[in-house]
A and B are shown apart, each in its own frame.
Chain A
Amino acid sequence: MASGAAVTTTAGAREAGEGLGRLALRRFLADRVAVWSAAVVLAGLLLVLSSLAGLTATGWGDEVAVGHAPPHFLLLRETPERGAPEGRDADPAVRQSTGPAIGPASGPASGPTGAARGPTPSDVVDPIEVEMRLIGALADPRGREAPTSTAVVDPIAQELAAAEKSVRPHRIIPPEERAQSLPFGADKWGRDVLEKTVKGAETSILVGLAAALLATLIGSALGAVSGWFGGWVDDLSNWVYNVFNAIPGILLILAIAAVLDTKGTLSVVVILGLTGWTGVYRLVRGEYLKHREREYVRAASAIGASHLRRILVHVLPNVSHVILVQFSLLTVASIKAEVILSFLGFGVPVDGVSWGTMLTEAQNDLLVGIWWQLAAATLAMGLFVTALSLFTDALRDALDPRLTH
């Protein structure tokens, strides 16, 4: 129960001999489960980085195989010819003309763009659009004017054009060159499930990390100020906390999703960040309340350290273990929440891919007996989130030796 038991690396490194941070690290390394889970988490993060840097899964959007091409390990079974995917081929002219025109093929960096609101990218051909094109009423998305003889004005032409522009350039592979089978199969459009899983991991994990970071920042800042200054600042923050806590999380998430006009990856981060901070706030506030009266803080005050300096330099390192564990917990929660939000259609837009959008597609696939996309997304998410959860548990045990379970 030593008062400094929770000092982490920053403070610990300054001490002579073996620091407490090093002790925590040794405790962590002694735990076999912890080391393995840390390795898996690290591997996942490296995969995200490589995908982000454009090294892996650059071609996730390319239709490299026939629709619903089976995985290699199922090749012994017959390979059903499911014909060309409905959407992509229906309008090859638009595809080819827009494809190369849009910037360099920078791959994943373009990512899901927020511009594709409402009308879907050309993955799905809108029957109305086809019809209107037939009657010559539609202003061509490429910018040509619609025939003036018809009085009909396409009401969503602008949106459609914007959506067309935002669609990533795809490599066009003629149907006869498409693979009949892929290592882990293909989705409805013939996209490689493995590449999609990697790309989906990038989106899901990044969203999880960003949302957790936002929530942790809000919670820690508010908690630190609230616990440190007390008085009316504390009362005000507590009031805000009570208000956010009174509304069940799901409802608050949905309410914010309803008012946010732009549906996209950034919205998910904002929604989850704005709703997830309360737990961090409560804990950090408690820690600052406790540390405010500690002797080392009073000593710092006596030598004239400012409030800001005491909050950030003196106390923060001593409560950082709480924040770190909360951040880790929030990441797990955010990844799970992103999946559900994307499934409901309030999350990652259709031109992006995340584990959530994969599961959504997989639900329809399953009805025709296509299970590999479901399996891939489930396995990837299960593995990473399990590892992250176990890592969090181990982290808590290592950083706070007073906890014994």
Chain B
Amino acid sequence: MTAYAVRRLWQMIPTMAGVILLVFFLFNWVGGDPAYVLAGLFSSQEQIASIRRELGLDEALHVQLLIFLRQVLSFDFGNSWTTSEPVSRIFATRLPASLTVVGPLLIIETIVGVVFAVALAWVRGTWVDRSVMVLFTMGMSVSILVFIILGQYLLAYRLGWFPVQGWGESFGTNALVYAPLPILLGLIVSIAPNTRLFRSFVIDEIDQDYVRTARAKGLSEARVLFVHVLRNALIPVITFVVSNLPGLLLGAFLLERFFGIPGIGREIILAVERSDFPVIKAATVYVALATMIFNLIGDLLYRVADPRIQLR
């Protein structure tokens, strides 16, 4: 397994090089001259020239690529173009807020998804199963925006059960006062896709021989489902959740935006609005790296949980 992990890490290098090239290509070539973006609409030639010098834009393309590479390797993307805050500090300071929302959300949504999936598998094929699945399909067809807009309006604005938006200084206030509504809405939005996916994992297991054997032994359907099937169905669930961790961190960007939570997702949206390239570049490169590493961890966990899997 070590050999496998080492080889996978080794294979990340070309992919990572590709990500860096793609980001470089996007931001230095497709995006036009960053100096014009940075200097704004009304700028003199001298201003643009000085910005170009500062960013190294008057160097040859391969030198610029080297500058970018050095930034990636040294974890130093310089300062934000709009706030002049170091990019690394932006991410470090925004991470806690994101985790306060995404952490509990991830745990709760996984548990709820698994419970729903097993419950649906229990009644699979009946009208309950079918109508819940149709309901979920309908729920998934309505935009996430609608759930958030309505949830915020009804639960916070009209009923006043939660603050409409905001974020405090202490972790306690944030976790207990400001985070619950975003977490609740995130949960509502994620139930349908998660349950559908997890249900397919359970259904995949349900026709296996060992399930027939368990039934033949005279075990109750509940024991078969919750002990025998669930343990095996959980393996892809865990892999799925682990490999999606970095994406989930970003995925809460709509919640963060609606509820004014100073997290990473909201920061990236702001950066896109302000054409703050260093922030977006850093986010893209490092989140891609994190995604690859977490994918590997997911695969390794799969192997640990199910020794029959041969990793090649």
A residues sitting closer than 8 Å to B (CB atoms) are 155-156, 239-240, 242-244, 246-252, 254-261, 332, 336, 339-340, 343-346, 355-356, 359, 362-363, 366-367, 374, 378, 381-386, 389-390, 405
Contacts and interface: CB of A to CB of B under 8 A. Distances in A.
Given A258-B277, A359-B146, A248 B287 contact: yes
Given A259-B31, A340-B143, A246 B250 contact: no
A259 B30 contact: yes
A255 B280 contact: yes
Interface in B254-296: 254, 257, 268-269, 271-273, 275, 277, 280, 283-284, 287-288, 291-292
B149 A385 contact: no
Main SS at interface, chain B: helix
27 contacts: A155-B42, A156-B41, A239-B18, A243-B19, A243-B21, A243-B22, A247-B287, A247-B291, A248-B288, A248-B291, A250-B250, A250-B253, A251-B250, A251-B287, A255-B272, A258-B272, A259-B31, A261-B31, A344-B257, A344-B272, A355-B143, A359-B145, A374-B149, A381-B141, A382-B141, A385-B142, A405-B203
Contacts of B283: 251
Nearest to A252: B284
Nearest to B246: A248
Given A246-B288, A246-B292, A239 B15 contact: yes
Pairs of residues from A and B, 8 with the lowest C-beta to C-beta distance, nearest first: A259-B31, A243-B18, A385-B141, A248-B247, A386-B141, A258-B272, A246-B288, A242-B15
| Residue among A251, A344, A366, A374 with max Cβ neighbours from chain B (10 Å) | A251
Interface string B183-216: 0000000000000000000010000000000000
A254 B268 contact: yes
Nearest to B247: A248
Given A340-B254, A386-B138, A251 B268 contact: yes
Interface residues of B, number: 51
B93 interface: no
B150 to A, nearest CB: 8
Contacts, number: 130
A258 B149 contact: no
B173 interface: no
A362 B149 contact: yes
B115 interface: no
B300 interface: no
Interface of B: 14-16, 18-19, 21-23, 26-27, 30-32, 41-42, 134, 137-138, 140-146, 149-150, 153, 157, 203, 246-247, 250-251, 253-254, 257, 268-269, 271-273, 275, 277, 280, 283-284, 287-288, 291-292
Nearest to A243: B18
A254 B280 contact: yes
Nearest to B124: A405
Nearest to A337: B143
Contacts of A256: 26, 30
A259 B268 contact: no
A260 B27 CA distance: 9
Contacts of B144: 336, 340
B142 to A, nearest CB: 5
A366 B153 contact: yes
Contacts of A249: 247
